[in-house]
Each structure stands twice: as C-alpha cells, then as structure tokens.
Amino acid sequence: MDQARTIKTVITPQPVIEGAGVHLKRSIATRTLSELDPFLLFDHFGSENPDDYLAGFPMHPHRGIETVTYMLAGTVRHRDTLGNAGTIGPGDIQWMTSGRGILHEEMPQPSARLDGFQLWVNLPARLKMTAPRYQDISAAKIPVWTGENGVTIRVIAGEVGGIRGAVTDIAADPTYLDITLPANVAFRRSVPQGHAAFAYLFEGAGTFGIAESDGVSASAPRLLVLDDGDFLAVRAGESGVRFLLVSGQPLNEPIARYGPFVMNTREEIEQTLRELREGTFIR
C-alpha cells in the first residue's frame, strides 16, 4: 500500500541580504535547516521596491554545485565565463552546473516587481570537477500539465502524466514542479520513495501531508519538509494555493562548504581558495 508523506518540519523563511545588497527570504541554508541533501540553499526573492534588488549579484564564483533560478516576474541580466549572456524573464529557468568552476553575474533590471526563486543542488563527488554547463530555458519551452478541477502543473524537471520536464540530465534526478490548485481542490502527487522532498508555498493557503490525520495547514510563505513516503496529498484553501514541489535523490556524501563552494573535504575547499588567489580557478 502506498504511504502518504506527512510534514516533518514547517519553515518560516528568514530575511537575509546577499550579493551587493539584495533582500531575500531564505528557507534552506539557515540555522533552522542547513541543508536537505541534495539541496543546499533555497531563496525566494520578491519585491516591488527596486532598492531591494537592483544592486544584484556582481561577478562571483561557484564550484561543486548546480544553481537553479526560476523567474515569476521581472527580468535578470546574466553573463558568465562560458561566454553565455542574456536575460531571463517571467517563467524562464536558468539551470547552471558550476562543476570545476565558473564565474557569473546576475543583475536584476528595473520592473514593477521582481519575483522568483534560486535553488542550489549539490553535485556528487564524481562530478564536482566536471566541465561547467549552462541551460537557459524560456517559459515557452516549459510544458504545462492540466488535470481535473483546474489543476495546472508547470513541469520544470521530472515527469507528470507522461510529460517530461524541460530540464534533463541532472545528477540528482530531481523533480521540480510549479503546482496551482483552485479553491478547495484536493490533489495527490507521487514522490519517489527515498528522495528528499519539500513544498514551498508562495501563494494562498492549503493543508499538506494529508494522511490518516488532517495534515498541516499553512499559508504563504512557508517551506514544508516532507517525511518519506510515496505521495503528497494537498487540499487547497478558500483562495486556492500555488506551491513548488521539489524532490531529489540524496547523495549521502560528506559536505565541505565555504560560501559559493561545496566540496567533499576541507582540503578541496582550501585548494579552491588557492586557485582563486593564484588566478587558476577558471580553466
């Protein structure tokens, strides 16, 4: 018999300032939740005040991780040492595999509102020093699955109803779904057993982790860490609910972390810092 995933932890996002002065709400990489293997960081950026975000993220390095930026509103200009440059806008995805090393910048542009998310996904030891890779996927290329009672799912990674997500060939075998439920609609979604999983509620309210008990009621913004099981059951509230459902295969490897660098040992971090000082970080 399939086992429902209940809610292990409810996280209230914490306000932080990153980059050159960008105001964010952080749910993973905090004192409450340092990581959820293989996920290392989850930020929600959203403001109608340009002073909260225009300073952006000037050129900075990464090694050993993948960064995933998903835009809801506004635009961000980016460029990197692979020669990529462009703008990501509403509904677009940027999935960057830093591998052995990349420098990039992300600079939000003035708009009525900037809104979106950034997720960091760990790389297994065997891929930490692989060649960097960049996937820039427009909103038009992200498939949408439509179910009963007005349920819609933007399939960023993973598979829903035979529809494959736009992002593929990622080491952690992730699922990344943007799910919208109309008012009072009940919904059930399979999640691979053994995968770490969370739901990030960013619009409306609902009851999550419904099993023998009544589940956990939550309103935006909240991050809900799911216990293990086979599926998540959700019931939307009176105003409907919209949330991200993200899952991935844990790596179960040692983590050595220093800012934008995530390796397996302290020695590898020290080597990375030496390469930055000596100008050999980018190959």
pLDDT in tens, 74-117: 999 999 998 989 899 999 999 999 999 999 999 999 999 999 99
Cα 213 from Cα 49, distance rounded (Å) = 41
Annotated binding residue 253: no
Report yes or no: 215 and 187 within 8 Å, Cβ to Cβ: no
Annotated binding residue 35: no
For the CA atoms of 42, 58, 140, 248, what is the dihedral angle to 10 degrees? Answer: -30
pLDDT in tens, 171-202: 788 999 999 999 999 999 999 999 999 999 99
- What average pLDDT score do residues 238-245 get? 98
Q: What is the pLDDT of residue 279?
A: 93
- What average pLDDT score do residues 146-164 get? 95
Total residues belonging to the chain: 283
- What average pLDDT score do residues 14-21 get? 96
pLDDT in tens, 119-142: 999 999 999 999 999 888 999 999
Cα 86 from Cα 264, distance rounded (Å) = 32
Annotated binding residue 60: yes
Q: Kindly report the pTM of this predicted structure.
A: 0.96
Q: What is the pLDDT of residue 169?
A: 77
> Please, which residues bridge with residue 155 across strands?
177
Q: Which CATH superfamily does the domain covering 7-278 fall into?
A: Jelly Rolls (2.60.120.10)
Domain locations in the chain?
A: 7-278
Cα 161 from Cα 234, distance rounded (Å) = 18
Of 232, 197, 195, 216, nearest in space to 42 by CA: 197
Q: What is the pLDDT of residue 212?
A: 63
Give the number of other CB atoms < 10 A from CB of residue 211: 16
Annotated binding residue 104: yes
Cα 173 from Cα 177, distance rounded (Å) = 13
Handedness of CA 150, 75, 170, 2 (dihedral sign): negative
Cα 44 from Cα 202, distance rounded (Å) = 9
The enclosing H or E element of 276 equals helix 266-278
